[in-house]
Chain A
């Protein structure tokens, strides 16, 4: 089945540690996105990538980093510089150049930093 996978579902880290969240898609989509969701709030864009080896900052990129070395993979690193890293992180992908702008979401990773 085609889709987006995120792992792990739950992640616990100590403050001061960097942590990398995985996102893989086999939909052959060019564009990929990372969002952060806090309780009772909408999705806020962290980083996005329209094509391999290229990515742009979203609205809340500070304290995060990404890479896009392969079309199917877009890992997100939450660095120790991120002041409030505890959140639900969602990865999404979308095809480029088509009439629909629908983004397909993964199941999310809940990160807890103590």
Chain B
């Protein structure tokens, strides 16, 4: 089946800089996308989601951008903090309520 993937497995940023985590998806019919953050040894936590009728959605210090033309999703984190260090997953909704997850990107924040 079609799947969600990520460009960069590891991203290192300096504290205070902005982070951009990318995700490519292959199912052009996908109409819902979601980002999760997973800290070591814990379950994933919801960050932000976006529907395909939107190009951009903002949360607290995070922004998700959706480019349906090139089937690309990105998560931007402003003023990255050490507590942002984690693995970030994007996922797309499959039929029903199922989510298909990408492999994840490790974000490391250097102090």
Contacts and interface: CB of A to CB of B under 8 A. Distances in A.
Contact of B99 (A103, A106, A107): A103
Nearest to A100: B49
Interface in B64-111: 89, 93, 96-99, 101-104
Interface of B: 32, 34, 36, 41-46, 49, 89, 93, 96-99, 101-104
Interface of A: 4, 31, 35, 40-45, 48, 50, 58, 90, 92, 94, 96, 100-108, 110
Contacts, number: 51
Contact of B103 (A41, A103, A104, A107): A41
Given A107-B43, A108-B41, A101 B103 contact: no
A105 B45 contact: yes
Contact of B44 (A41, A43, A45, A50): A43
